[in-house]
Amino acid sequence: MGLNAVIEDEMDEAVTGLAPALFRDAPNSVSFNKLRKRLLRQVRQAFEDFGMLKDQQRWLVGLSGGKDSYALLTVLLDLQWRGLLPVELIACNLDQGQPNFPKHILPEYLTSIGVKHRIEYRDTYSIVKEKVPSGATYCSLCSRLRRGNLYRVAREEGCQALVLGHHREDILETFFMNFFHGGRLAGMPAKLLNDEGDLMVLRPLAYCAEDDLAKFSAAMQFPIIPCDLCGSQDGLQRNAMKQMLADIEIRMPGRKDTMLRALAHVNPAHLLDPKLFDFSGLSAKADD
Protein backbone atom coordinates (compact mmCIF):
# COMPACT_ATOMS: atom_id res chain seq x y z
CA MET A 1 0.00 0.00 0.00
CA GLY A 2 1.40 3.43 -0.95
CA LEU A 3 1.86 6.32 1.46
CA ASN A 4 -1.18 8.20 0.18
CA ALA A 5 -3.45 5.20 0.65
CA VAL A 6 -2.08 4.62 4.16
CA ILE A 7 -2.78 8.23 5.12
CA GLU A 8 -6.30 8.07 3.72
CA ASP A 9 -6.99 4.99 5.86
CA GLU A 10 -5.48 6.59 8.95
CA MET A 11 -7.43 9.81 8.47
CA ASP A 12 -10.69 7.90 8.06
CA GLU A 13 -10.27 6.17 11.40
CA ALA A 14 -12.12 7.72 14.34
CA VAL A 15 -9.64 9.09 16.86
CA THR A 16 -11.35 9.61 20.19
CA GLY A 17 -10.36 12.77 22.03
CA LEU A 18 -7.92 13.98 19.36
CA ALA A 19 -6.58 17.33 20.54
CA PRO A 20 -9.96 18.65 21.68
CA ALA A 21 -8.54 22.00 22.71
CA LEU A 22 -6.93 22.50 19.31
CA PHE A 23 -9.85 21.42 17.11
CA ARG A 24 -12.83 22.33 19.26
CA ASP A 25 -13.78 25.27 16.99
CA ALA A 26 -12.90 23.57 13.70
CA PRO A 27 -15.72 23.05 11.19
CA ASN A 28 -17.23 19.59 11.02
CA SER A 29 -17.60 19.64 7.26
CA VAL A 30 -16.56 17.47 4.34
CA SER A 31 -14.56 20.30 2.77
CA PHE A 32 -12.59 20.98 5.94
CA ASN A 33 -11.86 17.29 6.51
CA LYS A 34 -10.62 16.97 2.93
CA LEU A 35 -8.40 20.01 3.40
CA ARG A 36 -7.03 18.63 6.66
CA LYS A 37 -6.34 15.26 5.00
CA ARG A 38 -4.54 16.94 2.12
CA LEU A 39 -2.24 18.94 4.39
CA LEU A 40 -1.42 15.89 6.50
CA ARG A 41 -0.70 13.85 3.39
CA GLN A 42 1.54 16.53 1.86
CA VAL A 43 3.53 17.00 5.07
CA ARG A 44 4.06 13.26 5.47
CA GLN A 45 5.16 13.10 1.84
CA ALA A 46 7.75 15.79 2.56
CA PHE A 47 8.91 13.83 5.61
CA GLU A 48 9.47 10.80 3.40
CA ASP A 49 10.95 12.50 0.33
CA PHE A 50 13.53 14.51 2.27
CA GLY A 51 14.27 12.17 5.17
CA MET A 52 13.14 14.75 7.71
CA LEU A 53 12.64 12.30 10.57
CA LYS A 54 16.11 10.75 10.39
CA ASP A 55 17.98 11.09 13.72
CA GLN A 56 15.40 13.56 15.05
CA GLN A 57 14.16 13.67 18.65
CA ARG A 58 13.17 17.27 19.33
CA TRP A 59 12.14 20.14 17.05
CA LEU A 60 11.93 23.87 17.65
CA VAL A 61 8.92 25.09 15.66
CA GLY A 62 9.15 28.76 14.72
CA LEU A 63 5.85 30.53 15.40
CA SER A 64 5.53 34.08 14.07
CA GLY A 65 1.81 34.52 14.64
CA GLY A 66 1.06 34.37 10.92
CA LYS A 67 -1.24 31.90 9.18
CA ASP A 68 1.54 29.66 7.87
CA SER A 69 3.31 29.02 11.17
CA TYR A 70 0.02 28.42 12.97
CA ALA A 71 -0.96 25.88 10.31
CA LEU A 72 2.47 24.24 10.50
CA LEU A 73 2.27 23.77 14.26
CA THR A 74 -1.28 22.44 14.04
CA VAL A 75 -0.50 19.87 11.35
CA LEU A 76 2.58 18.70 13.26
CA LEU A 77 0.55 18.36 16.45
CA ASP A 78 -2.16 16.51 14.55
CA LEU A 79 0.41 14.01 13.26
CA GLN A 80 2.05 13.75 16.68
CA TRP A 81 -1.22 13.02 18.45
CA ARG A 82 -1.98 10.34 15.86
CA GLY A 83 1.33 8.66 16.66
CA LEU A 84 2.73 9.53 13.22
CA LEU A 85 5.39 12.02 14.33
CA PRO A 86 7.72 10.56 17.00
CA VAL A 87 9.36 13.89 17.74
CA GLU A 88 9.01 16.26 20.71
CA LEU A 89 7.80 19.72 19.65
CA ILE A 90 8.65 23.04 21.26
CA ALA A 91 6.97 26.13 19.81
CA CYS A 92 9.01 29.32 19.89
CA ASN A 93 8.10 32.90 19.13
CA LEU A 94 10.81 35.51 18.81
CA ASP A 95 9.41 38.80 20.09
CA GLN A 96 11.45 41.25 18.01
CA GLY A 97 10.36 44.37 19.83
CA GLN A 98 7.98 45.65 17.18
CA PRO A 99 5.78 48.52 18.40
CA ASN A 100 2.28 47.51 19.48
CA PHE A 101 3.12 43.81 19.28
CA PRO A 102 0.38 42.01 21.28
CA LYS A 103 2.63 40.03 23.63
CA HIS A 104 -0.22 38.16 25.30
CA ILE A 105 -1.72 36.46 22.25
CA LEU A 106 0.77 33.69 21.55
CA PRO A 107 1.48 32.65 25.16
CA GLU A 108 -2.24 32.52 25.90
CA TYR A 109 -2.99 30.54 22.74
CA LEU A 110 -0.18 28.03 23.25
CA THR A 111 -1.10 27.56 26.89
CA SER A 112 -4.74 27.01 25.96
CA ILE A 113 -3.85 24.11 23.65
CA GLY A 114 -1.27 22.65 26.03
CA VAL A 115 1.82 23.09 23.85
CA LYS A 116 5.28 23.42 25.33
CA HIS A 117 6.63 26.79 24.25
CA ARG A 118 9.21 29.49 24.73
CA ILE A 119 8.80 33.22 24.10
CA GLU A 120 12.16 34.84 23.45
CA TYR A 121 12.57 38.62 23.51
CA ARG A 122 15.27 40.26 21.37
CA ASP A 123 14.90 43.81 20.08
CA THR A 124 15.98 43.16 16.50
CA TYR A 125 13.37 45.70 15.35
CA SER A 126 15.54 48.62 16.50
CA ILE A 127 18.62 47.13 14.85
CA VAL A 128 16.83 46.72 11.51
CA LYS A 129 15.40 50.24 11.63
CA GLU A 130 18.86 51.65 12.42
CA LYS A 131 20.84 49.70 9.84
CA VAL A 132 18.48 49.69 6.83
CA PRO A 133 18.19 52.98 4.91
CA SER A 134 14.79 54.61 4.63
CA GLY A 135 12.84 53.18 1.71
CA ALA A 136 14.88 49.98 1.51
CA THR A 137 13.39 46.59 2.35
CA TYR A 138 13.86 45.15 5.82
CA CYS A 139 13.28 41.48 5.03
CA SER A 140 16.85 40.28 4.47
CA LEU A 141 18.42 41.69 7.65
CA CYS A 142 15.33 40.96 9.72
CA SER A 143 15.38 37.34 8.55
CA ARG A 144 19.08 36.87 9.33
CA LEU A 145 18.73 38.28 12.83
CA ARG A 146 15.62 36.21 13.51
CA ARG A 147 17.23 33.02 12.19
CA GLY A 148 20.37 33.54 14.29
CA ASN A 149 18.33 33.89 17.46
CA LEU A 150 16.20 30.85 16.64
CA TYR A 151 19.35 28.79 16.07
CA ARG A 152 20.57 29.82 19.51
CA VAL A 153 17.28 28.91 21.16
CA ALA A 154 17.22 25.55 19.35
CA ARG A 155 20.66 24.74 20.74
CA GLU A 156 19.68 25.82 24.23
CA GLU A 157 16.59 23.60 24.08
CA GLY A 158 18.54 20.58 22.81
CA CYS A 159 16.75 20.48 19.46
CA GLN A 160 18.14 18.84 16.34
CA ALA A 161 16.14 21.01 13.94
CA LEU A 162 14.51 24.37 13.46
CA VAL A 163 11.18 23.88 11.68
CA LEU A 164 9.74 26.73 9.61
CA GLY A 165 6.42 27.37 7.88
CA HIS A 166 7.56 28.11 4.33
CA HIS A 167 5.19 26.67 1.73
CA ARG A 168 5.01 25.96 -2.02
CA GLU A 169 4.64 29.61 -3.03
CA ASP A 170 7.57 30.71 -0.82
CA ILE A 171 9.79 28.17 -2.57
CA LEU A 172 8.69 29.21 -6.07
CA GLU A 173 8.94 32.92 -5.30
CA THR A 174 12.48 32.45 -3.96
CA PHE A 175 13.46 30.52 -7.08
CA PHE A 176 12.22 33.25 -9.41
CA MET A 177 13.76 36.02 -7.30
CA ASN A 178 17.14 34.30 -7.68
CA PHE A 179 16.41 33.64 -11.36
CA PHE A 180 15.44 37.21 -12.28
CA HIS A 181 17.50 39.23 -9.81
CA GLY A 182 20.34 36.99 -8.60
CA GLY A 183 21.39 35.37 -11.86
CA ARG A 184 21.36 31.87 -10.40
CA LEU A 185 19.18 28.79 -10.18
CA ALA A 186 18.50 28.38 -6.47
CA GLY A 187 15.39 28.03 -4.40
CA MET A 188 14.48 27.28 -0.81
CA PRO A 189 15.28 23.67 0.13
CA ALA A 190 12.91 21.59 2.21
CA LYS A 191 15.84 20.33 4.26
CA LEU A 192 19.01 22.31 4.89
CA LEU A 193 22.04 21.92 7.14
CA ASN A 194 22.97 25.25 8.73
CA ASP A 195 26.39 26.81 8.16
CA GLU A 196 27.69 25.62 11.54
CA GLY A 197 26.68 22.06 10.68
CA ASP A 198 24.88 21.39 13.96
CA LEU A 199 21.20 22.03 13.10
CA MET A 200 18.80 21.08 10.35
CA VAL A 201 16.34 23.59 8.94
CA LEU A 202 13.16 21.79 7.91
CA ARG A 203 10.21 23.03 5.84
CA PRO A 204 7.49 20.37 6.09
CA LEU A 205 4.97 22.57 4.24
CA ALA A 206 7.08 22.51 1.06
CA TYR A 207 4.31 20.77 -0.91
CA CYS A 208 1.44 22.76 0.64
CA ALA A 209 -0.33 25.53 -1.29
CA GLU A 210 -0.58 28.93 0.37
CA ASP A 211 -4.26 29.12 -0.49
CA ASP A 212 -4.90 25.85 1.37
CA LEU A 213 -3.03 27.16 4.41
CA ALA A 214 -5.07 30.37 4.32
CA LYS A 215 -8.34 28.40 4.20
CA PHE A 216 -7.18 26.12 6.99
CA SER A 217 -6.13 29.05 9.18
CA ALA A 218 -9.42 30.85 8.63
CA ALA A 219 -11.38 27.71 9.49
CA MET A 220 -9.32 27.14 12.62
CA GLN A 221 -9.78 30.80 13.67
CA PHE A 222 -6.14 31.28 14.61
CA PRO A 223 -5.39 34.59 16.39
CA ILE A 224 -3.32 36.06 13.54
CA ILE A 225 -0.74 38.74 14.37
CA PRO A 226 0.17 40.96 11.38
CA CYS A 227 3.78 41.99 10.76
CA ASP A 228 4.28 45.76 11.20
CA LEU A 229 7.82 45.73 9.81
CA CYS A 230 8.38 44.03 6.44
CA GLY A 231 4.67 43.30 6.13
CA SER A 232 3.98 47.03 5.96
CA GLN A 233 6.21 47.73 2.95
CA ASP A 234 4.87 47.77 -0.57
CA GLY A 235 6.70 47.02 -3.80
CA LEU A 236 8.88 44.19 -2.54
CA GLN A 237 10.43 41.92 -5.17
CA ARG A 238 8.72 38.97 -3.53
CA ASN A 239 5.33 40.61 -4.02
CA ALA A 240 6.09 40.97 -7.71
CA MET A 241 7.00 37.29 -7.95
CA LYS A 242 3.84 36.35 -6.06
CA GLN A 243 1.69 38.33 -8.47
CA MET A 244 3.47 36.86 -11.48
CA LEU A 245 2.88 33.32 -10.26
CA ALA A 246 -0.75 34.08 -9.45
CA ASP A 247 -1.29 35.44 -12.98
CA ILE A 248 0.30 32.34 -14.52
CA GLU A 249 -1.87 30.06 -12.38
CA ILE A 250 -5.02 31.90 -13.45
CA ARG A 251 -4.16 31.59 -17.14
CA MET A 252 -2.76 28.04 -16.88
CA PRO A 253 -4.17 26.23 -13.83
CA GLY A 254 -1.81 23.70 -12.30
CA ARG A 255 1.40 25.45 -13.37
CA LYS A 256 2.57 26.00 -9.77
CA ASP A 257 2.58 22.27 -9.09
CA THR A 258 4.35 21.68 -12.40
CA MET A 259 7.03 24.23 -11.53
CA LEU A 260 7.53 22.68 -8.10
CA ARG A 261 7.96 19.25 -9.71
CA ALA A 262 10.52 20.78 -12.08
CA LEU A 263 12.67 21.78 -9.11
CA ALA A 264 12.85 18.10 -8.19
CA HIS A 265 13.78 16.93 -11.71
CA VAL A 266 17.02 18.69 -12.65
CA ASN A 267 19.11 17.64 -15.64
CA PRO A 268 22.57 19.27 -15.26
CA ALA A 269 23.59 18.18 -18.78
CA HIS A 270 20.86 20.43 -20.20
CA LEU A 271 21.93 23.54 -18.30
CA LEU A 272 25.03 25.73 -18.65
CA ASP A 273 26.99 25.16 -15.44
CA PRO A 274 30.36 23.45 -16.10
CA LYS A 275 30.77 22.96 -12.33
CA LEU A 276 27.78 20.60 -12.32
CA PHE A 277 28.46 18.79 -15.57
CA ASP A 278 31.73 18.00 -17.35
CA PHE A 279 30.98 19.55 -20.73
CA SER A 280 34.66 19.70 -21.67
CA GLY A 281 34.93 15.98 -21.13
CA LEU A 282 32.18 15.19 -23.61
CA SER A 283 33.30 13.56 -26.82
CA ALA A 284 31.61 11.62 -29.55
CA LYS A 285 32.47 8.00 -30.14
CA ALA A 286 34.83 7.54 -33.03
CA ASP A 287 33.67 5.31 -35.89
CA ASP A 288 35.46 1.97 -36.01
Pick 233 or 267 by higher pLDDT: 267
139 touches 230 (CB < 8 A): yes
- For residues 99 and 154, give the distance between their C-alpha atoms in angstroms, rounded to a whole number: 26
Q: Is residue 14 in a domain?
A: no
The reported pTM is: 0.86
Q: Is residue 12 in a domain?
A: no
Query: How high is the pLDDT of residue 209?
Result: 97
- Count of structural domains within the chain: 1
Q: Is residue 285 in a domain?
A: no
Per-chain mean pLDDT for the chain = 86
Q: Per residue in 121-136, pLDDT tens?
A: 866 666 666 555 565 5
Query: How high is the pLDDT of residue 237?
Result: 81
145 touches 127 (CB < 8 A): yes
Confidence band for 198, pLDDT divided at 50, 70 and 90: very high
Q: Per residue in 7-63, pLDDT tens?
A: 555 554 434 344 566 888 899 899 999 999 999 999 999 999 999 999 889 999 999
Query: How high is the pLDDT of residue 285?
Result: 83
- In order, the DSSP letters of 61-129 are EE--SSHHHHHHHHHHHHHHHTT---SEEEEEEEE---TT--TTHHHHHHHHTT--EEEEE--HHHHHH
- For residues 252 and 242, give the distance between their C-alpha atoms in angstroms, rounded to a whole number: 15
Residues above pLDDT 70, as percent of the chain:
81
Q: Is residue 130 in a domain?
A: yes
Pick 211 or 55 by higher pLDDT: 211
Element (H, E) at 58: strand 58-62
Residue range of the domain that includes 86: 21-265
Give me the amino acid identity at 267: N
Q: Is residue 112 in a domain?
A: yes
Instruction: Report the first-to-last Cα separation within the chain, whole angstroms.
Output: 51
Query: 52, 27, 56, 28: which is closest to 42 by C-alpha?
Result: 52
Q: Is residue 16 in a domain?
A: no
Query: How high is the pLDDT of residue 166?
Result: 96
CATH of the domain at 67: 3.40.50.620
Q: Is residue 136 in a domain?
A: yes
Confidence band for 234, pLDDT divided at 50, 70 and 90: very low
Confidence band for 288, pLDDT divided at 50, 70 and 90: low
Q: Is residue 88 in a domain?
A: yes
Query: How high is the pLDDT of residue 266?
Result: 94
Query: How high is the pLDDT of residue 23?
Result: 85
Query: How high is the pLDDT of residue 102?
Result: 84
- For residues 219 and 178, give the distance between their C-alpha atoms in angstroms, rounded to a whole number: 34
Confidence band for 111, pLDDT divided at 50, 70 and 90: very high
- For residues 233 and 211, give the distance between their C-alpha atoms in angstroms, rounded to a whole number: 22
180 pLDDT above the threshold of 90: yes
